[in-house]
Structure 1
Amino acid sequence: MAGRTRIIRMRYFTIVFLLLVCTGSALKAQFNTNRLPGGGGGNASMQRDTSSHDHEPDTLTIRYRYLGEPTDFMMDSTIADFSLNYLGVPATYTNLGNNGSASRNLLFSPRMTPGFDPGFHSFDVYGFNHQNAQFFRTNRPYSELGYLIGGKQEQMINVMHTQNRGEKFNFHFAYRKINSPGYFRNQSTNHDNYKVTANYNSQNKRYHLMMSYYLNKLNGGENGGIIDSLELLNNPEYSQRRLIPTKLGGTSAQSNSFFNTNIPLKNDFQESSILLQQQFDWGRGDTVHVNDTTEYYKFDPRFRIQHTFTYTQNTYEFIDQSPDSAYYASRYNFSLWPEAFGEDTVFTQHQWRILSNDLSVISFPVLGNQAHFIKLGAGFDYISGNFLTAATKFSNLRLHGEYRNKTRNQKWDLSAKGEFYTLGENIGDYAVSGTLSRYLNETFGNVSLRVSNVNREPSYVYKYFGTNHFREYVNNGMGKENVTQLQFKADNRKLKYNIEANYYLFNKYSYFKSYYESEQFTGLFNLLQIVAYKRFDVRSFTFDANFAFQQLAGNAPVQLPTIWARARIAYNARLFKNLNLYTGLEGKYNSPYYADDYSPMLSQFVYQNQYNISNYPDVAAFAHFRIKSFTAYVRGENLNTFLWTNNFTAPFYPSNNFALRVGLRWWFVN
């Protein structure tokens, strides 16, 4: 009976998919884009805008910028990288086995920003923030609609729209939802992300206003991992993975509905922030006559005053409605106190409010080149935190400066930045960096050198954490972390490769040595990291590979795979005039290592050296194609589970079984 049900479902999905393909092929909208040579096998998520300003009436010109970045970018229409371009998650990230669950980067990437940080980052890759906020300019309204369906009722929605209202104002809205019950018990995820940006330029182009708002509602079910992992995974009685008992949640009932999911044991993160940036310029304006009937007003700033206001409110909660007292006694070393509250629910909460004001003055030495500037400023942050049994308030005063010179011929790019905390809770924090980039020529591509040094207070979660059962964890003996980074990068589009080499030097590295105890490694250690990408094309066949090597020197509490690699071999061609097809096999592999464990109550990855994770390669078969403004990603993932047992992403956290995923995307130009 179960087999017949699967056959009926497959037929239903096939019919729906064919209907959607027919619908997508009828769309007539087109847009301009820059792609890597050969139609999109690269690993870049965005490309520079080098297009002309004159376009046909039925085409779309759409550009966007990031805060503080003078370079324009264009939308990426490549279809090769499903993970990055569709899911929005880099391929180097691994989660706890289910889409939307706590995630971390297998390539070591330390936090290199000074100042206050709450410390909850296990769900960052799924959320929006001001750093990835896009400020658009477009000549026509543009929309995107995406929908993904996968195994065990996994679903994902992406909606985006942007348009100009006249020449002075643009707004942009984006919404993303991830809902995935998962293959194992008590690992449901349910995320809702909202993002709104707007930018306004006055008629005389002297006043500019940029607004960014985001709201992340991140709900990740926690099961603590499965019990007796290898024995139960190999037992045919547990071929239905939901039958395998887990360390947390037991048989707690949970309802799975796309828009109304009840998760009784979870981490519930809510992050919201609004940013308003105002600029007023002094400079020289002029009316440029294009022809007898067309003219436009051009303004080149000499001097700018900029004010940035930011208000952020973040709440991080863990909820276990039916806790196992033995689990908390063994993992967190505390007993439950039901008589104190009339119930034995385990509950934690960190709530933070951050009010920030920043005032900067900017000078443009070369008229007409806004990518050449000198910036000086100061910022004041007021921070308040509320916990279940305590509260705190403090403030910070910081000074910052930046010099940027990107030449008009786009060959040289020099950047030097500094930020210093002079008063307040984080006094003594600083970050300094310098980058020099040079485009050599078409043959040798672009090379860059970067050096940076950061001195920062450890994230707050390392110093304090409390629960509703009268248990507080306090570590006030931690000094400031110091990280130095030396980086070399080379990007060559003609020879289709890029390479990045990082050398890190650490002092006073902070980490969790158990499920609830933080520690600081006081010695020095260093890390060499090399990341490379190369692509080969033979007629209509493409082979591309990402490769990373990591070597740690010193007895540090850091566990990393020495080798990480992803390889794809695919047939890549344009068929029937409008069909762009990219189909083949993809494999990912990392060398054996002692993967970090995970603490559900703190939502933190934890150092461990007892369980060595040794996996077979993850293998997927895929067929990605685009028909004008319609794109489809059809993937059979975790093919390796037909030959071997499930791979593990962390101790007692297995990855999913084989799953068929279909992701669809439409572009609409009004």
Structure 2
Amino acid sequence: MTRLFLLRVSILLLWFTSPAWAQLPTRLPNFPQGGNRTGGQPTTTGGSGASAGGAILDDSTKLIYGPKTTRFFLESDVLNNRKALITIDTTLEGVHRTSYIDRYDNLYTDLGNLGTALRSVFYQTPAIGSQTGLSAYGLYGYQTQNIRYFDTRSPYTNMYLVLGGRGQNIVNFDFTQNISERWNLGFNLQRMTSDVQFGGTTAVSSGTQRLAENWNFVVHSNYRSKNGKYTLLAHYNNLNHRSLDQGGVIEPDSGTSNAANPDLELRPVLSTANSREIRNDLHLYHQYVLDTAFQLYNIVDFRAQSYRFTDTDITDNLLPPDSSNLSRKPFYPRYYFDNLETRQTTLFRLLENQIGIKGQFSARGSAFNYRAWLRNRYYSLENRFNIGRLVPDSSYKSSRLETFVGGWLGYYFPDSLTRVTAEVEYLLGRDFRLQGRLESRLLTAGYESVFASPTLLQNRYTSNIYQWDHEGRLATRFDLRGTQHAYGQLNLKLGKLILSPGMDYYLLTNYIYFDTAAVPQQLSSAFSILQTSLSWQFRAGRFTMAGQGYYTLVSNDDVLRIPTLLANARFEYNFLLFKKLYVLAGVQFHYKSAYYADQYMPVTQQYHLQNETKLGDYIMAEPYANLRINRVRLFLKLAHANQGLLDQTYYSAPYFRTINRSFSFGVHWLLFD
């Protein structure tokens, strides 16, 4: 066992120290539709029995460990008194979905390359309480609610390598092992990098200039007492993300000197800008069961977040606009103190402590669950800029103690497939959240009402480039943002066809947006969003067809831009080669209708309105093949395969091209002993 572990560590060190692998990242993706889904058993696409990774007995009655002997759970399972453990997924569906855009069904968009700033395509209900508003890189790290806690009968290793083409690389290495029957310890390691694609002949031709790089490390542990009354879950999460900020690319003139490869003539708007975000989170959950109907729990979080933006030469991007020459258009709207450079740092610290009671009752096949809590949050924020540049009033600090009270109720019907839940939480003197939800075999429906404070960045910000204050005595204060959201979805099975039509309706009040100058504004009038959706899946023998479509109408698209139509589709066929090699081959498509997508401002890490460039109205096609032999899964994918076929250029954000056609290869290897 020790030799095997040392071998795995040696392989990992070789990957990170070898020049070929030195650019790679690390973390098993959380695929929404397979690949690494939280649950599921091997299907016909992945074989069965020993070849599918299941635990069996060989002729000498020696136990062969596999996915069924390595199981995990989430913190929400313990919090909601769900006993079931989840087995490791070994299916082939979704293995090729390695990019973060792919993993979230194209419901997020970036700046065209791995590791660049993310934003949601659709409206998202805000969280209550004080939030930083700096979230463009958050999804590149492990999420607290998705941290897996294991119970293993043998050491478990998960190794994942993606060579994404054009300098996009991912490496994940996870290891966990039970120290004793009731105590498990493990870690997750992620390394992710991408190279500059557009923006200067030297950078593109050499392929050595790094655009983004990411390190993410998690160490996790769980323990339960011998009598099962006490449970402890804990993890430490560190994210370190760095990115060059190009501000977009400037298109070459029609008379470019390199007509054979005009991409080499593209140059970035910003040439000396970069940003870096570091997050640290120490998380603790523990509970004690006095009785099934009365349990005590406590959740403690200490979080630290820092965001730094630096541009050491802002002179060229402060020139007055010149409509005859795009290269003369300024990126920064103004400067307040320093016309040579800008340096911005935001530091955020949060200590949160939640104590509560919970329990469950059962009667005549039905069950009742409850939870009540008191939550205290203390945060401190420091914002400073151009320190050492003789700038007056170059920093400010703020802090606040927030107290929340909340409750949750759940009723589970005897059929075990139908449940009703309700939740309410109130920040004393300010924010409020109310949610209700019905889930059954046929219907999922719910309603939520949220009144949330502006983010800290929306309320106040001071820098060399931007300054606003909506907290001072003489300032125009922002009101609570209101969201009323009603939704419903049917789940219909018609033979081999599964249809899930749905509808969402939002009514927004006091909506805060960033205008074309990248400055926050609040809309006093209310407006609405109506969204209809349809998910489908059709299986016939070895053939599968699946996808989702969304049709969205916004009553005020002057402040919120969403594509009217967004659709994904995939067509797959699975078969067996040489009696050992399972293959799932297919092609996936993505489409967004044309709309004025938001533009990115790296100084504040915010997307904002723009009225100059329409994006979308373009279909992206990507063929792929997922393969598995024994416990090793592989994939081959041609990303953006139809690039240039209709003489169109695809932009993922204004002035940011999506990466050109590229070939991706990946290996996912599970070891259970």
Please indicate the TM-score interval, normalised by the length of the shorter structure.
0.7 to 0.9
Amino acid at match of 2:72: R
Relative distance call for 1:610 and 1:333 in structure 2 (3 A) is closer
Q: 1:527 and 2:533 equivalent?
A: no
Query: Aligned-pair distance for 1:86?
Result: 7.1
Name 1:478's counterpart in structure 2.
478
- Structure 1 residue aligned with 2:91: 78
Judged with a 3 Å threshold, the aligned counterparts in structure 2 of structure 1 residues 126 and 490 are, in CA distance, closer, same or farther, namely farther
Partner residue of 2:54?
A: none
In the TM superposition, what whole-angstrom CA distance separates every residue of 1:98-140 from its partner, at most 9, and x where no partner exists?
111112222x131332111000111222112212222222333
2:74 aligns to what?
65
Displacement of 1:560: 0.9
Asked if the contact 1:233/1:646 (under 8 Å) is kept, the reply is no
CA distance in 2, matches of 1:572, 1:211: 40
Is 1:304 equivalent to 2:313 in the alignment?
no
Q: Distance in 2 between matches of 1:651 and 1:453?
A: 33
Contact 1:515 1:598 in 2 (8 A): no
Instruction: Give the letter aligned to residue 150 of structure 1.
Output: G
* C-alpha separation in 2, matches of 1:368 and 1:324: 74
* Counterpart for residue 268 of structure 1: 276
Are the counterparts in 2 of residues 348 and 466 from structure 1 also a CA contact under 8 Å?
no
Report the equivalent of 1:134.
148
Q: Distance in 1 between matches of 2:520 and 2:256?
A: 36
Q: Which runs of 5+ in 1 are unaligned?
A: 1-30, 41-54, 253-264, 284-300, 440-445
Shift, 1:357, TM fit: 1.2
CA contact (8 A) 1:567 1:586 kept: yes
Map 1:343-362; keep pairs closer than 5 Å. 344-362=340-358
What does residue range 400-439 of structure 1 map to in structure 2 within 5 Å?
400-407=406-413, 409-422=415-428, 427-439=429-441
Contact 1:491/1:499, CA 8 A, preserved across alignment: yes
Q: CA deviation at 1:658?
A: 1.0
What is the letter of the counterpart of residue 568 of structure 1? R
**Runs of 5+ unmatched residues, structure 2:** 1-36, 47-61, 200-208, 321-329, 385-394, 472-476
Corresponding residue for residue 489 of structure 1 = 489
Give the alignment partner of residue 548 of structure 2, picking from 546, 549, 570. 546
Letter of the 1:376 counterpart: A
Identify if the C-alpha distance between structure 1 residues 328 and 311 changes in structure 2 by more than 3 Å, giving closer, same or farther: farther
Q: Which residue of 2 aligns with 1:279?
A: 287
Secondary structure of 2:506's partner?
strand
Q: Contact conserved, 2:434 with 2:450, CA < 8 A, in 1? A: yes
- In structure 2, do the counterparts of structure 1 residues 159 and 328 end up closer, same or farther at CA, with 3 Å as the change threshold? farther
Q: Which amino acid aligns with 2:112?
A: G
**CA distance 1:141–1:359, shift in 2 (3 Å):** same
Q: CA deviation at 1:240?
A: 5.8
1:112 has 2:126 as partner:
yes
Deviation at 1:70, TM superposition (A): 4.0
SS in 2 for 1:360: strand
Quick one: structure 1 residues 77 and 353, their matched pair in 2 at CA, closer, same or farther if it must change by over 3 Å?
same
SS in 2 for 1:209: strand
Query: Any conservation in 2 of the 1:79–1:85 contact (CA below 8 Å)?
Result: no
Q: Say whether 1:182 aligns with 2:196.
A: yes
Match of 2:269 in 1: 247
Q: Is the 8 A contact 1:509 1:521 kept in 2?
A: yes
- Cα deviation, 1:59-115, whole Å, max 9, x if unaligned, reads 332132233344444433333325657757312122111111112222x13133211
Give 3-state SS (helix, strand or coil) of 1:461's partner: helix
TM-score (norm. length: structure 1): 0.80
* 8 Å CA contact 2:282, 2:303 repeated in 1: yes
Q: Is the 8 A contact 2:450 2:483 kept in 1?
A: yes
| 1:608 to 1:533, Cα distance in 2 relative to 1, 3 A | same
Comparing 307-316 with 123-132, greater Cα deviation is found at 123-132
State whether structure 2 residue 655 is matched by structure 1 residue 652: yes
Shift of 1:156: 0.9
- Checking the alignment, whether the CA contact within 8 Å between 2:304 and 2:348 is kept in structure 1 is yes
Q: Is the 8 A contact 1:366 1:372 kept in 2?
A: yes
Please give the alpha-carbon distance, in whole angstroms, between the structure 2 residues aligned to 1:515 and 1:266.
Answer: 20
The alpha-carbon distance between structure 1 residues 234 and 633, as it changes in their structure 2 partners (threshold 3 A), is: farther
Does the CA-based 8 Å contact 1:160-1:174 persist in structure 2?
yes
Task: Rate the CA distance shift 1:127–1:418 in 2: closer, same or farther, 3 A.
Answer: same
Structure 2 match to 1:383: 379
Deviates more, 1:187-196 or 1:65-74: 65-74
Structure 1 residue aligned with 2:113? 98
Alpha-carbon separation, structure 1, partners of 2:610 and 2:367: 46
How far apart are residue 33 of structure 1 and its match?
Answer: 6.4
Residue 129 of structure 2 aligns with an amino acid whose one-letter code is G
Give 2:448's aligned residue: 452
Question: Residues of 2 paired with 1:327 and 1:174: CA distance?
Answer: 44
Deviations 1:151-177 (A, max 9, x none): 232211111122222221122321111
Query: Which residue is 1:663 aligned to?
Result: 666
Q: 1:624 aligns with which of 618, 623, 626?
A: 626
Between the aligned partners of 1:32 and 1:566, the Cα distance in structure 2 is 22
Deviations 1:305-341 (A, max 9, x none): 11211111010111123333434874443337559xx
Q: What displacement does 1:196 show?
A: 2.3
1:419/1:85 CA distance change after superposition, 3 Å? farther
Cα distance in 2 for partners of 1:495, 1:276 equals: 44
- Asked if structure 2 preserves the Cα contact closer than 8 Å seen for 1:169 and 1:198, the reply is yes
Name the amino acid aligned to 2:348.
Answer: W
**1:593 deviation in Å?**
0.8
Amino acid at match of 1:632: L
TM-fit CA distance, 1:209: 1.0
| CA drift at 1:669 | 0.5
- Quote the Cα distance in structure 2 between the aligned partners of 1:182 and 1:398: 45
The residue matched to 1:197 in structure 2 has which SS? strand
Of 143, 149, 152, the residue aligned with 2:163 is 149
Amino acid at match of 1:393: S
Render the CA deviation track for 1:429-481: whole Å, top value 9, x for unaligned.
01110111123xxxxxx4211111110001111122222x3863323421110
Which 10-residue stretch deviates more, 646-655 or 571-580?
Answer: 571-580
In 2: Cα distance, 1:667 partner to 1:109 partner: 37
How has the CA–CA distance of structure 1 residues 409 and 199 changed in structure 2, closer, same or farther, with 3 Å as cutoff?
farther
Pick one of 442, 453, 457 that aligns with 1:461. 457
**SS class of match (1:569):** strand
Counterparts in 2 of 1:69 and 1:417: CA distance versus 1, 3 Å: same
Residue 664 (structure 1) shift: 1.2
In structure 1, what residue type is equivalent to 2:425?
E
Query: 2:151 is matched by which residue type in structure 1?
Result: R
Distance 1:515 1:374, change over 3 A: same
1:233–1:109: structure 2 CA closer, same or farther, 3 Å change rule? farther
Q: Could you say which residue in structure 1 is the equivalent of 2:23?
A: none
| 3-state SS, counterpart of residue 125 of structure 1 | helix
**Match in the other structure for 2:561:** 559
Q: Structure 1 233/181 Cα, relative in aligned 2: closer, same or farther at 3 Å? A: farther
Q: Tell me the alpha carbon deviations over residues 268-294 of structure 1, each in whole angstroms, 9 at most, x when there is no partner.
A: 1111111112211113xxxxxxxxxxx
Q: Given that residues 169 and 199 in structure 1 are in contact (C-alpha distance below 8 angstroms), is that contact kept between their aligned partners in structure 2?
A: yes
RMSD: 3.1
Q: Report the Cα distance in structure 1 between the residues aligned to 2:637 and 2:128, rounded to whole angstroms.
A: 41
Alignment length (residue pairs): 581
Asked if 1:320 is matched to 2:311, the reply is: yes
Worse overlay, 368-377 or 352-361: 368-377
Q: Match of 2:180, as an amino acid? A: G
Alpha-carbon contact 1:33-1:77 (below 8 Å) kept: no
* C-alpha contact 1:135 1:197 (8 A) present in aligned 2: yes
Higher mean C-alpha deviation, range 111-120 or range 55-64 = 55-64
1:435–1:74 distance in 2 versus 1, CA, 3 Å: farther
Deviations, residues 581-612 of structure 1 (Å, cap 9, x unaligned)? 11132221111111111112111111123321
Change in Cα spacing, 1:594 to 1:232, as seen in structure 2 (3 Å) is farther
